[in-house]
Amino acid sequence: MSQSQNPIEITLLEKGGEAEWASFLETADRATLFHDLRFLAYHPHSRFRFAHLMARRGGKPIAVIPGGLVGADDRPTFVSPLGASVGGPAVSPDLNTDGLLRLVVALQDHARAQSWAGIEMVLPPPLYHAVPSDGVEFALFFHGFHLVNRQLCPMIPIMTGEDGRYAHLFRSRFTSRVRAGLRDGVRVVRGGLDLLEDFLVVFDDTYRRHGVKATHDAAEIADLLRRLPERVQLHVAFANEIPVAGLLVFLLNSRVAYSFYICTSTEHARQPGGVVVFASLIDSLGAAGYRWLDLGPTARPGNFNTGVTQFKEGLGGIGHCRDRWLWLADESAL
């Protein structure tokens, strides 16, 4: 039997399988920090019903799908990601279109066997992948998944070259503010736990101002910085030694970074720290070989944040979609 004819087996990740999962992610396409079990483990055990899946063909891993179960115990829905921003399968680089189609069928068969109500996946923009491709999206659509939501995420293309990359991306008024800030002595420091106290000054200020609760609290941010110091960073802008802006940055893979929190000081709103910290981040990412900075979602159907979108586009952000796909085992429920 040829490799393409070997059946694909879907199994639940069991205790002790973490090393195999991590090893697979090292070379998998579509892998991100959000597929890393170390990242997902920052959640308290009682928060989610994790049920991470592995796909094998001929005993060899060909895909991993982080996620878990939501809804009724007797008929839950498998969602990927759970406790992260994006998910879906990270796959072997040699998995072709036929393999992707077979993978989706195997997932659907597994869902029926487990009496799941369906499968839901939030996939990142194709630019996250080593070679941008819509192969998984096509396989989902081909086998009856429906596109049920789209979020627009401005992403900054990071140019090669010397420092000052921001000057080729930012709108002229932002570039002028960066230069003015640098002349006035605004400086940016990159770090981890050592910067947390300074970052929390602008983090707490920002969320008090907006009157909403952040996704992570201070203890969870500290845990992520300890757990993944090589993948989670803080960037803080100081003016006269006072924190005036800050970013929490996730290094998702070798190509894409993600600015999860964008924070500024209310008292020092006239300081250009917000654009200076982005200019510094773009230069440091470019020097490290990154090609894209995802600024996070600014719009979805029925909700368009004009001000935030214009700010992110002013930094050079170009809109790309983060898509949510849904398949229901009982298609009559659609």
- What's 106's domain CATH number? 3.40.630.30
pLDDT at 220 over 50: yes
Q: What is the pLDDT of residues 108-152, one digit of tens each?
A: 999 999 999 999 999 999 999 988 999 999 999 999 999 999 999
pLDDT at 3 over 60: no
208, 253 Cβ separation under 8 angstroms: no
CA nearest 130: which of 25, 205, 238?
Answer: 25
Query: How many whole angstroms separate alpha carbon 11 and alpha carbon 257?
Result: 30
Three-class SS state of 279: helix
- Single-letter amino acid, residue 219: A
Q: Both 146 and 66 in a single domain?
A: yes
Confidence band, pLDDT 50/70/90 cuts, at residue 46: confident
The answer to whether 32 and 12 have CB atoms below 8 angstroms apart is: no
Q: What does pTM read for this prediction?
A: 0.92
* Residue 313 belongs to a domain: no
Output the pLDDT for position 162. Answer: 66
Tell me which of 41 and 334 has the higher pLDDT: 41
Q: What is the mean pLDDT of the chain?
A: 93
Cβ pair 152, 311 in contact under 8 A: no
Classify the C-alpha dihedral 112-114-120-121 as positive or negative: negative
- Average pLDDT on 211-217 reads 90
For residues 180-184, give the mean pLDDT. 91
pLDDT band at residue 186 using 50, 70 and 90 as cut-offs: very high
Looking at the fold, whether 142 and 185 belong to one and the same domain comes out as no
**Over 50: is that where the pLDDT of 253 sits?**
yes
Q: pLDDT at residue 4 above 60?
A: no
Residues 90 and 86: their CA atoms lie apart, in Å, by 11
In a shared domain, residues 132 and 187: no
Tell me what pLDDT residue 1 has.
33
Asked if residue 212 belongs to a domain, the reply is: yes
User: Residues 142, 109: one domain?
Assistant: yes
> Using one digit for the tens of pLDDT, what is the confidence trace for 222-248?
999 999 999 999 999 999 999 999 999
Encoded amino acid at 332, one letter: S
**Confidence bin at 30 (pLDDT 50/70/90):** very high
Could you tell me the two tokens for 83? 């406790």
Q: DSSP 3-state assignment of 200? A: helix
- Domain containing 47 equals 3-151+322-333
For residue 159, the model assigns a pLDDT of: 80
Tokens representing 290 are: 């990154």
**Total number of domains in the chain:** 2
Q: Does some domain include residue 317? A: no
pLDDT at 333: 47
Q: Specify if 281 maps to a domain.
A: yes
Phi-psi region of 94 (alpha: psi -120 to 50; beta: other; left: phi over 0): alpha
pLDDT surpassing 50 at residue 78:
yes
Residue 5 reports pLDDT greater than 90: no
Same domain? 140 vs 191: no
Least confident of 19-33, 66-80, 172-186, 215-229: 172-186
Residue 10 has pLDDT above 80, yes or no: yes
| Residue 315 counted as domain residue | no
Most confident of 181-185, 206-210, 293-297: 293-297
* 76 and 46 share one domain: yes
Beta bridge partner(s), residue 78: 69, 119
